[in-house]
């Protein structure tokens, strides 16, 4: 699983790795925890019964 940089206390968007990580994403910024939570909420919600064996990337285009 590829990981997109996300702004957290342990990995702040203004931290020592930000100059290296953020430019490597298509959106040129760190992800927000809320964006990750929204995807998780969608996946555990009632409208994804037909989603099977899919790879859904929430990585800001890092794997594009």
Distance of alpha carbon 15 from alpha carbon 64, whole angstroms: 24
The DSSP code for 8 is -
pLDDT at 3: 63
What pLDDT, on the 0 to 100 scale, is given for residue 45?
A: 92
Whole-number pLDDT of residue 5: 82
- For residues 22 and 30, the answer to whether their CB atoms sit within 8 Å is yes
Instruction: Please report the pLDDT score of residue 37 as a whole number.
Output: 93
Q: What is the pTM of this model?
A: 0.71
pLDDT tens per residue, range 18-63 = 888 888 888 899 889 999 999 999 989 999 888 887 788 888 888 7
């Amino acid at each position: 699983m590829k990981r997109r940089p996300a702004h957290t206390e342990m990995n702040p968007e203004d931290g020592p790795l930000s100059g290296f990580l953020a430019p490597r994403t298509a959106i040129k910024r760190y992800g927000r925890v809320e964006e990750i939570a929204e995807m998780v909420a969608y996946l555990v919600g009632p409208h994804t019964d037909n989603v099977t064996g899919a790879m859904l990337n929430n990585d800001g285009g890092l794997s594009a």
